[in-house]
Homo-oligomer: A and B are copies of this chain.
Amino acid sequence: MNNKIRNKMELNKQFRQFGHKMTSGRETTIDVLSETDEHLSAEDIHIKVHSVNPKIGLTTVYRTLELLINMGMVSKFDFGDGRARYELAEGFKGAKHHHHLVCTGCGRIVDYSEFVKEEKTFFKRIELELSRKYDFRITNHLVQFYGLCKKCEGY
């Protein structure tokens, strides 16, 4: 399937547009993020990248993630366990806008995309008013729910 090739060329273009080069490490990192539905830490990602391309070091993974964030392809989250988590940003490889339920017992993360439409409407209005009132150009927002998953609230 030369779908892969087309994809590669797309990526190449993306990087060039931002004044960067495409490298095998960067490509592998994106692949890893595309192929998971988990919320991987930098080290998690490194382990997976490393298993495909053992030459890639952890430092490069950190640098790549930062770059991808700046390019808008990756989102970084803090779920309160002391390490950042990364996922493909909305719109890349079919990733959909969603928010998170975080279990404060076991750390489990649940993606949900219900209410996205209502939420968008709701937040759009709020953002507009807050922007005006506080002279802020709001670019994005974060919503997270905390609680206990079924397993963790058992007694």
| Chain A residues close to B by CB (< 8 Å) | 78, 80, 101, 103-104, 110, 112, 114-115, 118-119, 122, 126-127, 129-131, 133-150, 153
User: What's the Cα separation between A15 and B143 when bound, in Å?
Assistant: 32
User: What's the Cα separation between A149 and B137 when bound, in Å?
Assistant: 6
Give how many copies assemble into the complex.
2
Contact A134 B148 (CB under 8 A): no
Contact B130 A114 (CB under 8 A): yes
Within 8 Å by CB of A136, from B78, B101, B134, lies: B101
Contact B138 A141 (CB under 8 A): no
User: What's the Cα separation between A139 and B105 when bound, in Å?
Assistant: 12
Q: In angstroms, how far is the closest chain B Cβ from the Cβ of A44?
A: 20
List of B residues within 8 angstroms of A78 by Cβ: 78, 80
Contact A142 B143 (CB under 8 A): yes
Contact A143 B145 (CB under 8 A): no
Q: A101-B130, A114-B129, A130-B112 are in contact. Are A136 and B122 (CB under 8 A)?
A: no
